[in-house]
Structure formats: structure tokens, C-alpha cells
Structure 1
């Protein structure tokens, strides 16, 4: 006998909240009691893509598929309408509201979204609001004018939601008028994320931050109209992700995690983060204004004595680096192509990751005073040509035992395999923890060369082949069913 259904609605809602949303929705067919529970479940998620509302670009000229797509769009909009009207009519609480539409139409949909925001904003229990509005032109057969006037203006009803603890806005949304005409105050807000939205000017951002003193997690990415950002007076802030700014000034002593991304190399990003003394994690992506040298590293570890994780992606570096830190636990180099040599002196290092491509010789990496239990991951994206000798040379000075090698072979790539080297291969072979292989295009010749070369070079404990064809060849090679002059046999 089902006794769970007899539990109070509050407990049943709590049970549903711990399930993946799709699984929670399926409980509505279990019984009448569960259907009623689901009908008043205070977490509302409306994601168009997850509900099959999408149109591939190749179908944009097919009248039947366009007609079906528009039918799905209308069905989705009506579903949101019915649900929110029902919640409003019965006085059901709304704790979370998440709306994602990749098919937002700036002419015909704003009034509906306004109506939804009014109902959500008037709910005294609303804690989480996520709104993503994006435009894909081919889906409606019109050319979108990307001027700010066609952005969706966030209504004042949102300001009424003083109980918000999480606010995420993404896409063609403008908040400048709202912030200019209302004093923004979300005293309980802990998470704020603004991606691709229109803010208008720096003062709007500063006014918003001043009204949200409890923010712990801040994400600002490519905010239109905002070139410079200042993050001050947030005593609870732990994590910040900032992208697309010309100037960044962060003065928050409590900050522990900071990610800075600068996609526009024509406008180097001026960064001032010196006062974030308690920083533990620093991720720099394509920050052209930073030149990573030995002096920069010395100053970095001096400024941030608690730094445990450092990740550099597409950064300009000296050819030779000495990384010395007694606290560093995680280190990553990704597409730092100027780097030719790196010596790592970090006794507490737990993991190190290196990402490179075939176009640049990989750096010679060596470890000093590091545990041989360090997890070392090497990832190479191979386009056009893979020289297995240079892969072997890369690992000559790698001392850790827990090594993972991942190769992503692009379409039309070739494998260079010197059979003379195979005849004179040195034993014992280098033992590695795991070998991961991906290929965009598979042929028997490519797979045979790849597997032969790698297994004459390394002895992996685990092999992961993300390739159906190559997996079969691997089995055949291992039992000697494929004739080859120097085939590997396990």
C-alpha cells in the first residue's frame, strides 16, 4: 500500500525537489495524489529545447517543418500561460521559475513574458528566477535588428521579489531602464548571473551591487554597454566570473575563486585584483594584458599566499617558466603556445594538466620536489598530422605515475609512424594510467597506425576508445587478426 502519498504536501514537494526535474514530472502519472502534488509543485521549469521546440538551420526553408515548429512554439507558450494562470488562481506558491526560449520574438512575445514576470514577481515565496531569451533568426524567417530597442525590457515586477536568493538573466534582455527608475534592493540575493544582457553603464552595475550585500556568487559575461566593472563592498562574495571587460577592479577580501576571460584581444583587459588576498583559485583565459613570466609568478604567489589552483588558458608566457609554490595543488596550461619549458616545484601539487596542438611543439615539463602520485593529464588536439615521436619525447621528463594521455584526431589527419623507431624501441615501455582516443573520421589505416604507434610507445592500464570502428580494430590487433609489419600485440 502506498503510504508515501499520505504524507503532507510540503514533504512530498521536498521529495520531488530532490529528483531530476524530468523524473519529478513523471510522478504525476503514479496516482491521483501524486498528480495533485505535481500540479502544485512550486518549482516551475520551462525550457523550450528540452521540450522539443527547435528547428535545425537546414530545415528553415521547409514549409512543413516550419509549420510544425511554429505549432510547437505556440504550444510551449500556451503551456506556460496555463500553468502560471492556474498557480495564480489557486494561490499556489512559486519558489523557483526558470524560463529558457531560444525562439524569442521581439515583436510578438514581450507582452506574454511581462504577464509571466508579473505573476512570478508577486509570489512572496519566489527565491530563484532564471530567464534566458535568445533569438535565432532562421527559426522565424526574419532578420533581427540587434539594436537595444529590440531587447526585452525587464519589468518592474521583478524588483518586487525581495525574497530572491538567485537571479540569472541571459540573452536579449535590457535592465538599464529598470535600474535607472527603481532603487534595486535584493537583501537576500546570494547568486547573481548576467550574461549578454544590456546594462547601459557602469553606474547601473554599481547600484545593483550596492543593493545586494549578501552576494556570494557573481557572474558577469559580455554585458552590453558595460566596458569596465568594479566589484567592491561585497563582504560575502566567494566566487566571481568576469568576461568581456576592458577594465576589471575587484576589491573583495573574502573572494576565493576568480575567473577572468578576455575574448577581445584588440582591447587588452586592465586588471586590478591585488586586494583579494584570500584568493584560492585563479583562472585566466585569453587575458592578453598579462605576460606570464617568472617575475609575474613570484609576485602572484606573494600577493595571494593561499592560492591553490592556477589555470592559464591562451595566455602569453615566457619561453621558460619556473613555478614554485608550497601551497599549489592544481596547475593547468591550455594553449599557451609560447611556453617551451616549465619546471614545477610544488610539493603539495595534486594534479597538472597540459593542453596543446600539433601546430606547436609541446613544452618540456619537469617536476621538482613533487610527489610521483601527481595526476598528470596531457591533451592534444591533432589536425592534419600526428608525429608519434614527438608525443614520446614530450613524456621523457614526466615523473608522475598517474599519467593520462588524450588525443583528439581531427578529420583528414595523418599519422607519422617511423618503423625504424619501432624496431629499436626501448623497453620497458612508459606506463601510463589511461589512454583516451577520439577521431572525427575513422579508417582502418589510420586506426592501425594510431594503435600500433601508441602501444609501441606506452603501456596504459586503461584504454578508452571513443570510436566504434577503431575499437573493433583494437580487438583484432590484440589477437593478431590484422596483418601488419610491426603490429602491436597485447
Structure 2
């Protein structure tokens, strides 16, 4: 079998690069190799062809009648021109004709041999010197619909303008349709009939209010609707869809001004905007059963932020909320939902955050600066993930981190990810601030992620030493979990071990300070290498340093502290 695959790959190279090029790649295969391969059973040849790109299968289809039959009966569901590199006009025309002929023959052969696929993905460039190319693309879609395809994924690039053929617009068997139109594909204003459609995703497609109404009325059983970077629509109104469960709207640079959704069955709503809006109206009072809400806005005003905040409070059944606020003027937010279980908050400018959700058990907070006022009711919160993206961290930043982490006391598991350019922690600067380390953070999973500075350099060993001193000044966790693999992860583990080996009370590390460092509070340390079979291998700092170069990526190292 392996030899047969090599023979087919040789024939493919011979066809693609020419006889002389194939001779230069001597594989010890005679000229009659293709004849012997052709005598293999079809199912074996199909298996071998599955290892080749679709472009290679197309080229095989023109070798001979035998290979045409084998290639076109191969059950392909993904027809893509992606990665094609042609520059000459004749080459482009010749390839497109071969490609379309292959797709057509493949659909017919699959239908004849009863090996047809319910999925059909077509990705091609419609910009061609052939004036009949659009009509040929129409024929492929009509043929796929006649062959019983129920899931269409269409990606048309570089098109001047294109409408889907009527045969596809009235195909009653379609259940999934995904369209990417490169901003030049349009849907008609007349009736659309997709009575079986469950999923509709439109990307870069011209859509207006009339088209949306046709879609809604023509898809009575639709369950998921996605409008991504669609243009031409100012208002979205959805009602009467008794099966609709999920709606995604990513307006990109469109001029969307209003969203109205009155669908009691709706469970998930995702909305993304990248524009500064002076006014915006959203009405979802008819979606009282909404469970998942994801809002992402890059640049909005305080007034528009209030619109979304009022929206959050409308859903008593809400269990999952993801709120991403990037470069905005919004500085305060209050979240209060009794049923909320999972919350993801990404804030760059928020200074006041109030969260009152007694059922919350999972919280992820991505921050660029520590909020000056942060209130979290975590009566049920079991785990939290904090991702700090702040560039350089200095001594007073660790003080703010200590005050911020004070809101997470009694939480069993805390994941802390620090993305930084540089770290400088000088405890002498904080001599006049007598604040004990947080004792109630139990299990800390630490991820240290250095970023490339403007000069192109990564973190130094001093950065890692200052992170260790700063974090253990902030809190005294029972366990710290680290993961080996990348150079910076291993370097951090190395620095931590070296710091722990320096000792405690007998060291003269704090003689110039009236506040003792973390070493004087540490009584004992144990290290475990967590195995995949749930066993733990004991290490000392010395043996871990010896074994560190041999640890694979993703190995878990747990430090157990006794304070």
C-alpha cells in the first residue's frame, strides 16, 4: 500500500513537472508504473487519492479514461482552488475549465455510483476572461442541488457581481448554507424557499431589510443565523422564527442602527461592532429565555455602553455572559444577574466594576489596567482566570495586583496569566506600606508570557527574579502549578528553584528593610511532577533543575508551599 501511494505521487509529479523533472527525482519506478497502479481496486485507489490535494486529483483526471473514472468517482466533498498559483491568461483559463469539468464529472459520477456526499464546499475565483464562467458556476450549484446535497459551503472570490441561481434558492433539501461573497454576492429580493434550512451563515454578502425579510419568511425552521461583515443593512428585525436558537451579528464597517429580535426560543446572541456610534437601539424584550450573551465592542461611548448594560439586565435566564470592551470611553459597569454562571470580561478602560451574581462559578477577567474599584460577590465562585496585559510592571503595580486579588480570597483555584514586556519589583519602594501577603489564595496556576519589546528583546533573567519576588510578596498560595515546554517557561521554573534554594531566616536578604521578604515566612517546600497516569513524582529543587532540560512540552510541575 505504501509503495502504491509513492507510485501515484511519482505519477503526479511527473505530470506536473514534466518527464525530465520526474527523472531528476529518481524513485526507482519504471515507466509502466501507472499501468500497474491502475489495476488496483477502485476503493484502494480512492484511499490513496485521499492523501493528495484536490488539485492533484484534478490533474490525475486528465491522464486517461481510467484515471478520469477513478478520480471523478472519488467521493470528494471539498472543491477548492485555494493555493493555486497561476499567472498566465491561458493557464488560468485552462485550469478553470479543468477544475469546473472535474467538479461536474465528480458530482455526476458520485450520483451514478451512489457515493454522493451530503456536504458540498466550493471555493473558487469567479474573475475570469471566460464570459461563460458565471453560468458554469450556476450549473455546478444546480447539479449539486439535484444530487441531493444538503449542506453547502460556498466561497466566491474576486467576483464582479453574482446572484445565486434560482435552482439553489428553491432547493427544499438544503439544511445548511454558508456563503462568503467577497462583498459582491447578493441575494434576490423575490421569494426564497428553504423549508428545511437549519443553519444560514452570510459573510461579506450584500443584505438589506427586504432580503432579510425574504430569508426569514423563506426559512421557517431556521435554528442558527449569522450575519458577518454584511453590508447594506441598517436595521435587523427578526420575529416569527419559532425554532431560532442562535443569532450572530458582526457588523464590521456597516451602518447598522437598530436591532429588533422577538423570538422566545432564542438561546444565544452574539454581537460585535467596531464603530463609534452616536446612537443605537436594540430591542430584545421578546427573548426572555436567552441563556448566552456575547457582546464585543471596540470603540463606543459611555451612552452606548449604557444601552448594552441595560440589555444585560433584561434576561433573567442568562447563564453565560462574555463582555469585551476594548478602546472605549466606558469606565464603569455593573452586572447583576441571579442565574449567571459563567462570566468573561475583557476591559481596557474600566475603572469601576461591580458584579453581583450569586450563582457565578466561573469568571475570566482580561485586564490592561487594574480597576480602582472592583466588587465581586463570589459566594458560589469556584475558579477564576485573570489575564494581565499591561506591558511593564513596577512595584506599585504589584501593590495594585495585591489589592485586586484580595477580591478572590477563598476561591479554590485561580489561574493568573501575566503578559509583560518588562518587570521591576523593588520592595524598598514599598517599605512604608505594611500590607501582609494574601494568605487565602489556595491553588494558583501561573502562566508567564513575555512579549517582545520595542527593541526586539525578550524577558531577561532579572525580569523572572522580580516576578517571583513580586508575586510571593503579593500572595502566599498553598500550591503553584507551572507548565514546562517553551524556553521562557523553563527559565522561569529555573529561577524559582534557584530562589527557593537560597534559604530563609539565615539569609541577610532584608537587612536594609523593616519589612521581611517572603523567604522568612516560608517553612517548607515540596515539588511534584504530575504524571499522565495521575501519579506524582517527587522532586527537590536540585533534582528538578537537573531534569528540566529533559522535560517535554506541557509537563505539569506543582510547588507545594508550607507557610
C-alpha distance in structure 2 between counterparts of 1:226 and 1:401, whole Å: 47
Q: TM-score, normalised by structure 2?
A: 0.64
Aligned pairs for 1:81-480 (under 5 A) are 81-89=101-109, 91=111, 92=114, 93-100=116-123, 104=125, 106-108=127-129, 110-111=133-134, 113-123=137-147, 125-134=148-157, 150-172=160-182, 174-176=184-186, 178-180=187-189, 182-199=190-207, 201-244=208-251, 245-266=256-277, 268-286=279-297, 288=300, 291=304, 300-301=312-313, 303-314=314-325, 321-335=333-347, 337-342=349-354, 344-357=355-368, 360-362=369-371, 364-368=373-377, 370-373=379-382, 375-385=383-393, 387-399=397-409, 400-409=411-420, 413-420=421-428, 426-427=436-437, 430-441=441-452, 442-444=458-460, 445-458=462-475, 459=477, 461-464=480-483, 467-479=486-498
**CA 1:82–1:349 in structure 2 vs 1: closer, same or farther (change >3 Å)?**
same
Contact 2:235–2:258 (CA<8 Å) still a contact in 1?
yes
* Structure 2 partner of 1:59: none
Higher mean displacement: 262-271 or 396-405: 262-271
**CA 1:393–1:299 in structure 2 vs 1: closer, same or farther (change >3 Å)?**
same
Q: How many Å apart are 1:226 and its aligned residue?
A: 1.4
Q: How many Å apart are 1:482 and its aligned residue?
A: 11
Contact 2:161–2:185 (CA<8 Å) still a contact in 1?
no
C-alpha distance in structure 1 between counterparts of 2:361 and 2:429, whole Å: 34
Deviations 1:257-285 (A, max 9, x none): 11122222145432111111111122222
Q: How many Å apart are 1:452 and its aligned residue?
A: 4.1
User: Rg bigger for which structure?
Assistant: 2
Q: How many Å apart are 1:113 and its aligned residue?
A: 3.6
Q: Is residue 2:54 matched to residue 1:46?
A: no
Number of aligned positions between the proteins = 419
State the SS of the aligned residue for 2:407.
Answer: coil
Aligned pairs for 1:17-36 (under 5 A) are 32-36=42-46
C-alpha distance in structure 1 between counterparts of 2:350 and 2:110, whole Å: 63
C-alpha distance in structure 2 between counterparts of 1:464 and 1:48, whole Å: 41
Q: Which runs of 5+ in 1 are unaligned?
A: 1-29, 56-65, 136-148
**CA 1:481–1:330 in structure 2 vs 1: closer, same or farther (change >3 Å)?**
closer
* Structure 2 partner of 1:142: none
State the SS of the aligned residue for 2:194.
Answer: coil
State the SS of the aligned residue for 1:133.
Answer: strand
Higher mean displacement: 33-42 or 440-449: 33-42
Q: How many Å apart are 1:32 and its aligned residue?
A: 4.5
Contact 2:221–2:241 (CA<8 Å) still a contact in 1?
yes
Contact 1:259–1:284 (CA<8 Å) still a contact in 2?
yes
**CA 1:363–1:35 in structure 2 vs 1: closer, same or farther (change >3 Å)?**
farther
Deviations 1:95-153 (A, max 9, x none): 1112345xx35334853544432332332x21100112345xxxxxxxxxxxxx82443
Higher mean displacement: 306-315 or 187-196: 306-315
Deviations 1:23-80 (A, max 9, x none): xxxxxxx97535458775756123555xxx178xxxxxxxxxx769x98998798456
C-alpha distance in structure 1 between counterparts of 2:79 and 2:473, whole Å: 52
C-alpha distance in structure 1 between counterparts of 2:234 and 2:91, whole Å: 40
C-alpha distance in structure 1 between counterparts of 2:120 and 2:357, whole Å: 45
Contact 2:370–2:401 (CA<8 Å) still a contact in 1?
no
C-alpha distance in structure 1 between counterparts of 2:176 and 2:154, whole Å: 11
C-alpha distance in structure 2 between counterparts of 1:443 and 1:263, whole Å: 33
C-alpha distance in structure 2 between counterparts of 1:432 and 1:48, whole Å: 50
**CA 1:443–1:333 in structure 2 vs 1: closer, same or farther (change >3 Å)?**
closer
**CA 1:105–1:481 in structure 2 vs 1: closer, same or farther (change >3 Å)?**
farther
C-alpha distance in structure 2 between counterparts of 1:247 and 1:453, whole Å: 48
C-alpha distance in structure 1 between counterparts of 2:97 and 2:177, whole Å: 22
Q: How many Å apart are 1:468 and its aligned residue?
A: 1.7
How well do the aligned residues superpose, as a CA RMSD in angstroms? 3.9
Q: How many Å apart are 1:415 and its aligned residue?
A: 1.5
